[in-house]
Chains A and B, each alone.
Chain A
Amino acid sequence: MGSVLSQFTEIASWLFLIYGSIISSGYLFTAIYSLIEIRDYKRRNNFEDDIALLQSLNLPAISILAPAFNEGLNIVENVRSLLTINYPSFEIVIINDGSSDNSMELLFAEYELEKKDILYHNFVETKDIKGIYKSKNKAFKNLTVVDKENGGKADALNTGINICQNSVICCIDVDCILENDAMLKLIKPFLNNGNKVIASGGVIRVANSCVIEDGRIIEVKLPDSFVARVQVLEYFRAFLMGRMAWSRVDGLLLISGAFGMFDKQIVIEAGGYNTNTVGEDMELLVRMRRMMQERKIPYTVGFVPDPLCWTEVPQTWKVLQRQRNRWTRGTAETLWMHKKMMFNPKYKILGMLSTPFWFFFEWLAPLIEFTGILFFIILFIFGQVSWEVFLTFFLAVYSFAILFSVTALFFEEYSFQQYKKPSYIIRLIGTAMLEPIIYHPIVMWSAVMGNFDLLRGKNSWGVMSRSGLSNPSKKKKG
């Protein structure tokens, strides 16, 4: 029995070591590719200022689709902020997804809405539409409000796709804060590429604690709460390191649901957002890419490294757990739906690199980690723990986690340096040191529970309550 256990321990230890080494090498390559991409982007923008193009009438019109569910608290300000977007030609389509609060009444009153008989077709099947409204006031002529039966975010976006007028759509969260030139920067990949561009995404940043006035970020501040602060680091890692690198090799599988631009026709041909998954943003892009690969049409997906969109991240452990649980389910569902792509050379980089990476290092990582902890407990019970080895192994993992965050922080400093105060750097380093011990176990647990919930057949989003962003002008009014 003893020798079997020791053999098992030996094999398991090797497997964990190999997995750890592969994942570390993966991150190392991502970091290198990201650095090259950021450097290139900085050089590209050193002498060009595209702002002058905002006067041009040649830019394609964009339909901005913003689903809203029980957003009554901020909906009027959020829509107003969207209406001030700096772009020559756009329409805003707010899709009220069967809110049970007073969102519609507020929109009616503030924007002088009236029902319009607008012709549309369900290119993508959706829940019933109760009414389509436009403003009587010409100042809001860009605004369309759709009131529909509740069907979830994906269904609301599909409704927007059916209703909107333009061939380029931008899907956003209604409460996110966009940079002034966000649309111009996001459309650029569509227009400045030899291949057909089917989608483009930008960097999302954390808006918690930032000073916001009239729907614009006035001062970037580091969040006060630890939970939100760690997410600043996570977003650095995800966007400045992960997606930049994937974009460099044209292997992006995810454009954040909070802010992404798409070719409407391709979205429709791919079947629109999938209402049967909670990871509809990732699933759509994977499906679109898969379709293009299968049709053998040359295409690409753009990514803009500039911070273009600011969003509020969960501030409490409970909401964070729900969000991560959902993300895990979304990832697992998408990978399962498109399992055919995995290690399939027909899908090139997507099949040979992107999907395996997501499978092994995004979806499987927390499960392996959790198994590792269980393994450790078994060893402990049987008195097989070598504490010296454990201690050195723990330190190796911990130091790697810190290195990863500090590297992401370095990328931020090198590129955009949004957090100006020197004290912020110290606080972020402190946060990076605490994250592996306090924050990471919770996130890992949420991911494990996400898989468990998926097996149980749970497919709801869960309540994502928000605390609201600081808006001095609003406070003054209050």
Chain B
Amino acid sequence: MFNKDIFSFPFTLDSLPWIMKLNILFVIFFLSLAVIFFISIIWIRIFKIYRNEKKNKQQTLLIEFLNSYLFDEDFDKELEIKTFKENHLKTKLEIKVTIKEILHFHENLKGESARDLETLFNKLDLVEFTLLDLDDGRWFTTARAINALSELSIEVPNDKIETYLNESRNEVRQQSQLYFLKLAKEQPLKFLDKTVRPLTTWQQIYIENALKNFYKGPAPDFSQWLYHDLTSVVEFSIRMIARYNQFENIPKLIPFLKSENDTLKCEAITSLTNLEDTGLLELIIPNFINNSRTIKLKILDAVEQIGDYEDLKRVGEQIKPTEWELRIKYHNIEQGFLPEKKELIYSQFMLEKRSEI
């Protein structure tokens, strides 16, 4: 069946038809690539094993070193730091592992021990390394460097970090925001004045977390950002006013109940509800019908939290029969107000539902 002329030895590629030449070329190309990838897999495996061994070794060494440094009174700090620096901080990997381990220890320690670690970080010349990383130019190295600086409360000139507040990468922006927040003695959110890129919800959660868990100074007056250019910053500020119980700012929140922006309106209703503002329901119930679905749901939430059955009934009159989501919420709240009529409300709703279908 085979054409013996083609495969008679010795044969050259030139003697083959073009389609075979093409196929053979593909075979060689694909198999070569497959072999390269296979070698890469083996190389990655060996490299990772080797690197992990080195990492583990450095980690074990560091755990012993850090424990002695922090808790052993007979430990000759100056001499040991010098020795450690000379012998165990030679490669990039050793430096990276050391930074990571110090950060890890720092995360779990407070007070004097944490301050000791910050001093150690400095004495090991790791700050210089981190600053080199900061200026590296690659976003992930910069973000990592800012992270280390903020975790260990190492101050650098503000303008060095400010440039990253409006970086195109979310991650860099987030780290620089946290840097300013964690290092601030007062006015932890001053960076918001220089922020021109919107805050994502994720960043807002991080900022709030850091504000609660790291910042020790007096809470800022969040109303100063109520007229910020960015909706996300205003939204965050409205929320924080309620979280920090800044009752004095209630009058400043009221105008947002008339905002064209649903996000801000929603946030204002939630915050005023949480602040238990007594005048809120009178402002939002009469106009219930003219709102979007999201706002209507928020108004119902407000009635549930700070209103009574009469308020609920006023809202109920404005709910259309087709607004099922609102109707369900309405009846759920009604059941809460009138627990003795729970079953009756349920059966009435099911009856209405059946008749309308």
Q: Kindly state whether residue A395 has any CB partner on chain B within 8 Å.
A: yes
Binary A-proximity of B4-26 (CB < 8 A = 1, otherwise 0): 00110000000011011001101
B45: chain A residues within 8 A (beta carbon)? 413, 417, 422, 425
A395: chain B residues within 8 A (beta carbon)? 23, 27
Interface residues on A, range: 35 or more
Closest chain A residue, CB of each to CB of B212: A56
**A43 & B140 in contact (Cβ 8 Å cutoff):** yes
**A409 & B23 in contact (Cβ 8 Å cutoff):** no
Binary B-proximity of A405-425 (CB < 8 A = 1, otherwise 0): 011011001100100001001
Closest chain A residue, CB of each to CB of B138: A43
Nearest CB in chain A: distance from B166 CB, A: 14
Closest chain A residue, CB of each to CB of B347: A117
Of the listed stretches A63-71, A150-158, A383-391, A456-464, name the one at the interface; the rest are far from the partner chain.
A383-391
> A413 and B23 in contact (CB under 8 A), knowing A191-B202, A388-B6?
no
From B140, B175, B201, B353, contact of A192 by CB (8 A): B201
Nearest CB in chain A: distance from B241 CB, A: 15
User: In the complex, A120 Cα to B346 Cα: how many Å?
Assistant: 10
**A413 & B6 in contact (Cβ 8 Å cutoff):** no
Q: Kindly state whether residue B324 has any CB partner on chain A within 8 Å.
A: yes
**A392 & B328 in contact (Cβ 8 Å cutoff):** no
Q: Kindly state whether residue A336 has any CB partner on chain B within 8 Å.
A: no
Of the listed stretches A45-53, A250-258, A306-314, A341-349, name the one at the interface; the rest are far from the partner chain.
A45-53
User: In the complex, A147 Cα to B203 Cα: how many Å?
Assistant: 40
User: In the complex, A422 Cα to B41 Cα: how many Å?
Assistant: 10
Binary A-proximity of B39-62 (CB < 8 A = 1, otherwise 0): 011101100100000000000000
**B171 & A387 in contact (Cβ 8 Å cutoff):** no
**B2 & A119 in contact (Cβ 8 Å cutoff):** no
User: In the complex, A413 Cα to B144 Cα: how many Å?
Assistant: 24
Most buried by A among B2, B3, B34, B44: B34
B16: chain A residues within 8 A (beta carbon)? 388
From A47, A193, A399, A425, contact of B144 by CB (8 A): A47
Closest chain B residue, CB of each to CB of A268: B325
User: In the complex, A240 Cα to B40 Cα: how many Å?
Assistant: 17
A402: chain B residues within 8 A (beta carbon)? 30-31, 34
B7: chain A residues within 8 A (beta carbon)? 388
User: In the complex, A55 Cα to B210 Cα: how many Å?
Assistant: 12
**B41 & A425 in contact (Cβ 8 Å cutoff):** yes
**A123 & B23 in contact (Cβ 8 Å cutoff):** no
Q: Kindly state whether residue A393 has any CB partner on chain B within 8 Å.
A: yes
User: In the complex, A409 Cα to B1 Cα: how many Å?
Assistant: 38
User: In the complex, A414 Cα to B42 Cα: how many Å?
Assistant: 11
**A121 & B24 in contact (Cβ 8 Å cutoff):** no
Nearest CB in chain B: distance from A379 CB, A: 12
User: In the complex, A415 Cα to B160 Cα: how many Å?
Assistant: 32
Binary A-proximity of B185-216 (CB < 8 A = 1, otherwise 0): 00000000000001011111110110000000
**B332 & A119 in contact (Cβ 8 Å cutoff):** yes
> A388 and B328 in contact (CB under 8 A), knowing A188-B202, A402-B30, A403-B37?
no
**B200 & A191 in contact (Cβ 8 Å cutoff):** yes
Q: Kindly state whether residue B38 has any CB partner on chain A within 8 Å.
A: yes
User: In the complex, A425 Cα to B148 Cα: how many Å?
Assistant: 36
> A117 and B343 in contact (CB under 8 A), knowing A56-B205, A388-B3, A389-B17?
yes
Q: Kindly state whether residue B247 has any CB partner on chain A within 8 Å.
A: no
Inter-chain contact total with CB atoms closer than 8 Å: 130
In chain B, residues 130-163, which have Cβ atoms closer than 8 Å to a Cβ of chain A?
139-140, 143-144, 147-148
User: In the complex, A402 Cα to B26 Cα: how many Å?
Assistant: 13
Q: Kindly state whether residue B115 has any CB partner on chain A within 8 Å.
A: no
Q: Kindly state whether residue B342 has any CB partner on chain A within 8 Å.
A: yes
Q: How many residues of B contact A (CB 8 A)?
A: 56
**A46 & B353 in contact (Cβ 8 Å cutoff):** no
Interface of A is mostly: helix
User: In the complex, A392 Cα to B25 Cα: how many Å?
Assistant: 10
**A393 & B23 in contact (Cβ 8 Å cutoff):** yes
Q: Kindly state whether residue B170 has any CB partner on chain A within 8 Å.
A: yes
Interface of B is mostly: helix
User: In the complex, A429 Cα to B38 Cα: how many Å?
Assistant: 9
**B30 & A392 in contact (Cβ 8 Å cutoff):** no
Q: Kindly state whether residue A59 has any CB partner on chain B within 8 Å.
A: yes
Binary A-proximity of B277-301 (CB < 8 A = 1, otherwise 0): 0000000000000000000000000
B33: chain A residues within 8 A (beta carbon)? 403, 407
Q: Kindly state whether residue A400 has any CB partner on chain B within 8 Å.
A: yes
From A194, A389, A399, contact of B34 by CB (8 A): A399
From B26, B30, B44, B328, contact of A121 by CB (8 A): B328
**B324 & A192 in contact (Cβ 8 Å cutoff):** no
User: In the complex, A53 Cα to B178 Cα: how many Å?
Assistant: 14
Q: Kindly state whether residue A44 has any CB partner on chain B within 8 Å.
A: yes
A117: chain B residues within 8 A (beta carbon)? 342-343, 346-347
Most buried by A among B23, B209, B324: B23
Q: Kindly state whether residue A1 has any CB partner on chain B within 8 Å.
A: no
**A417 & B48 in contact (Cβ 8 Å cutoff):** yes
From A55, A123, A425, contact of B324 by CB (8 A): A123
> A396 and B346 in contact (CB under 8 A), knowing A46-B140, A56-B209, A413-B41?
no
A406: chain B residues within 8 A (beta carbon)? 34, 37-38, 41
Q: Kindly state whether residue B244 has any CB partner on chain A within 8 Å.
A: no
**B41 & A409 in contact (Cβ 8 Å cutoff):** yes
> A387 and B140 in contact (CB under 8 A), knowing A192-B203, A400-B30?
no
In chain B, residues 211-225, which have Cβ atoms closer than 8 Å to a Cβ of chain A?
none
User: In the complex, A425 Cα to B203 Cα: how many Å?
Assistant: 40
User: In the complex, A194 Cα to B168 Cα: how many Å?
Assistant: 12
User: In the complex, A53 Cα to B16 Cα: how many Å?
Assistant: 65
Residues of A within 8 A of B (CB): 13, 17, 43-44, 46-48, 52-53, 55-56, 58-59, 117, 119-121, 123, 188, 190-194, 385-389, 392-393, 395-396, 399-400, 402-403, 406-407, 409-410, 413-414, 417, 422, 425, 429
| 16 additional A-B residue pairs with CB within 8 Å, beyond A48-B171, A117-B343, A388-B2 | A47-B140, A47-B143, A53-B205, A56-B208, A58-B204, A58-B209, A119-B328, A119-B332, A121-B353, A192-B170, A389-B23, A393-B19, A399-B26, A402-B30, A407-B33, A425-B42
- Provide a sorted-by-A list of 20 A–B residue pairs whose CB atoms are within 8 angstroms: A43-B139, A46-B140, A46-B144, A58-B209, A121-B327, A191-B201, A192-B170, A194-B200, A387-B2, A388-B2, A392-B19, A392-B23, A396-B26, A399-B34, A403-B30, A403-B31, A406-B37, A407-B33, A409-B41, A413-B40
* 9 closest cross-chain pairs (CB), A and B: A392-B23, A192-B202, A43-B140, A399-B30, A121-B324, A191-B201, A117-B346, A396-B26, A47-B144
